C-alpha cells in the first residue's frame, strides 16, 4: 500500500515526509523533483516568502545512491525563513506575542478552539499552504514513476476570477509549451494581460482572488479504481486528495456541471475502430462508475481567494471576546497559479496509489511488466 505522512510548520526548521510503498530498483530523477518545487514557487501574484525560499529536497532514507530500496523514503525540505523565526518558534510565547484575532476564511478560529493552545500562531503554522511544498515533492516522486509507465499529468489555469481562458488540448505540445512559458499558466495572451491587470488591481486594493485549474491525466489504463465499495472509487479518492489542498472548494470531472445536456448527449458513445476502443466525447471525464475508462481524466478544480487580505474585515478577539477588525499576515495575492503545480503532483500520488492497488508488487521492474501486460491484454485481445 502506498501512503505517506508529512510534518513540519511554515516557519519551522523543515518540512518532512515519510513515504512508504515505493517499489525498489527505481532510479529517482532528483532534478525532476526539484524542478517541480521550483515550478511551485513561480506564478504571478506570489508574495515575498518566495523571494526567501529556494526549495530543494533531500532524501534521508529509502535510497542507495538514487535507486530506491523498497524501504520507507524520508524526504526533507529545509525552510530558509526559519532563521528569522527560530527564536520565537523555539520557546513558549509571551502573552503579548500570542495571536488572538482570527482572520475570517482561515483556520484561525476553528484551530484555536479545537486544540486550545491559546495562540493562533500554532494554527497558522500548520494550516499554511507552505505545507504543499513537501506534498509537491512526494507527488513529484510518484510522477517520476508514472512517466515511466507512460502516464502523464498536465494542467493550466482555466480562469482567474471571472476571466476565462478556455480549456484547450494540453497534449498538443505547441499549446502546452506556450502555457508553460506564461506567468499565469494560460494559453490566450490577451486573457493573460487581463488577468495580470486584475491581480495588480487586487494587490493595490489589498485584496485577493481565486480561480479554476484544469488538470488532465493521459495514459490511464481502463479499469483503475473500483465500484465494489464507496471508498475504492477513483473519482472519490481523487476528490478527497484534491480537496485536501488548502483553498480548494469544488471539483468537476469532465463536464459534470453542464446542466444543459440530457443523458443522450452527455454520455460518451463507444466505438471499436482499427482495433481500438475510442470515444468521440469525454463528458464523464475519463471515469465511469468510479473506474477509469481509458480516456483522459479531465478535472476542473476551483480555488477560493486566499483568506488573508489587507482590507479590513470584521472579526473578534478570541480571548477577550470583543469585536475587532482582522489582522494581516504576509500572503500571496493569487495562489491559483502555484496551486496548479501542487495539484498535478497531488494527483500523481493518488494515481500511483491506485495503480499499485491493482498491481501489487515490490520492485519497479515487476510494476512496469504488469502494466505493460495488462494494457496488451485489454487493448489487443
Contact 129, 335 (CB under 8 A): yes
Given this model, what pLDDT does residue 50 score? 61
Contact 68, 145 (CB under 8 A): no
> What is the distance between the alpha carbons of residues 208 and 332, in angstroms, rounded to a whole number?
8
> What is the distance between the alpha carbons of residues 21 and 360, in angstroms, rounded to a whole number?
10
**Domains of the chain by start residue, with CATH:** 3-380 (3.60.150.10)
Binding residues for FMN: 126-128, 246-247, 289, 304-308, 330
Cα→Cα distances 209→45, 200, 265, 268, Å? 9, 11, 34, 35
- C-alpha cell, 359: 498491481
For 120-174, the DSSP string reads THHHHHHHSGGGHHHHHHHHHHHHHHHHHTT-EEEEEEEEETTEE-----TTSHH
Which conformational region is residue 67 in: left (phi greater than 0), alpha (psi within -120 to 50 degrees), or beta? Answer: beta
Given this model, what pLDDT does residue 270 score? 95
Binding residues for NADP(+): 40, 46
Given this model, what pLDDT does residue 302 score? 98
Given this model, what pLDDT does residue 152 score? 98
Query: Full-prediction pTM beyond 0.85?
Result: yes
Sequence-ordered list of residues with C-beta below 8 angstroms from that of 342, at least 6 positions apart, any chain: 40, 132, 135, 136, 139, 245
Contact 117, 318 (CB under 8 A): no
pLDDT tens for each residue of 304-315: 999 888 888 899
Strands (E), 241-327: 248-253, 270-273, 276-279, 287-288, 291-292, 297-303, 314-317, 322-325
The stretches in the chain having pLDDT less than 50 are none
- C-alpha cell, 355: 495503480
Given this model, what pLDDT does residue 283 score? 96
Binding residues: 40, 46, 126-128, 246-247, 289, 304-308, 330
∠ CA 109-111-112, nearest 5°, is: 65
Amino acid at each position: 500500500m502506498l501512503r505517506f505522512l508529512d510534518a513540519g510548520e511554515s516557519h519551522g526548521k523543515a518540512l518532512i515526509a515519510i513515504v512508504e510503498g515505493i517499489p525498489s530498483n527505481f532510479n529517482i530523477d532528483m532534478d525532476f523533483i526539484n524542478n517541480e518545487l521550483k515550478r511551485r514557487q513561480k506564478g504571478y501574484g506570489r508574495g515575498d516568502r518566495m523571494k526567501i525560499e529556494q526549495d530543494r529536497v533531500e532524501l534521508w532514507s529509502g535510497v542507495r545512491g538514487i535507486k530506491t530500496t523498497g524501504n520507507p523514503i524520508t524526504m526533507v525540505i529545509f525552510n530558509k525563513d526559519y532563521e528569522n523565526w527560530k527564536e520565537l518558534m523555539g520557546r513558549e510565547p509571551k502573552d503579548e506575542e500570542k495571536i488572538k484575532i482570527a482572520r475570517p476564511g482561515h483556520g484561525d478560529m476553528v484551530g484555536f478552539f479545537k486544540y486550545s493552545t491559546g495562540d493562533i500562531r500554532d494554527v497558522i503554522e500548520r494550516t499554511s499552504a507552505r505545507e504543499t511544498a513537501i506534498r509537491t515533492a512526494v507527488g513529484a516522486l510518484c510522477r517520476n514513476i508514472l512517466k515511466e509507465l507512460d502516464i502523464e499529468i498536465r494542467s493550466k489555469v482555466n480562469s482567474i476570477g471571472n476571466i476565462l481562458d478556455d480549456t484547450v488540448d494540453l497534449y498538443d505540445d505547441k499549446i502546452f509549451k506556450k502555457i508553460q512559458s506564461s506567468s499565469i499558466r494560460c494559453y490566450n495572451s490577451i486573457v493573460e494581460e487581463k488577468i495580470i491587470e486584475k491581480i495588480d488591481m487586487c494587490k493595490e486594493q489589498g485584496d485577493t482572488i481565486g480561480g479554476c485549474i484544469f488538470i488532465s491525466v493521459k495514459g490511464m489504463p481502463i479499469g483503475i479504481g473500483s465500484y465494489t465499495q464507496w471508498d475504492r472509487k477513483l473519482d472519490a479518492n481523487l476528490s478527497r486528495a484534491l480537496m485536501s489542498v488548502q483553498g480548494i472548494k469544488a471539483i468537476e470531472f469532465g463536464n459534470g456541471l453542464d446542466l444543459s445536456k440530457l443523458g443522450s448527449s452527455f454520455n460518451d458513445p463507444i466505438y471499436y475502430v482499427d482495433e481500438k476502443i475510442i470515444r468521440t466525447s469525454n463528458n464523464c471525464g475519463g471515469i465511469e462508475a468510479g473506474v477509469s475508462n481509458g480516456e483522459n481524466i479531465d478535472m476542473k478544480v476551483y480555488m477560493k481567494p486566499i483568506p488573508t487580505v489587507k482590507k479590513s474585515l470584521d472579526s473578534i478577539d478570541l480571548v477577550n471576546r470583543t469585536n475587532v477588525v482582522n489582522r494581516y499576515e504576509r500572503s500571496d495575492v493569487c495562489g491559483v497559479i502555484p496551486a496548479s503545480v501542487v495539484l498535478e503532483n497531488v494527483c500523481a500520488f493518488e494515481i500511483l496509489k491506485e495503480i499499485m492497488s491493482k498491481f501489487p508488487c515490490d520492485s519497479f521492474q515487476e510494476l512496469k511488466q504488469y502494466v505493460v501486460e495488462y494494457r496488451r491484454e485489454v487493448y489487443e485481445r
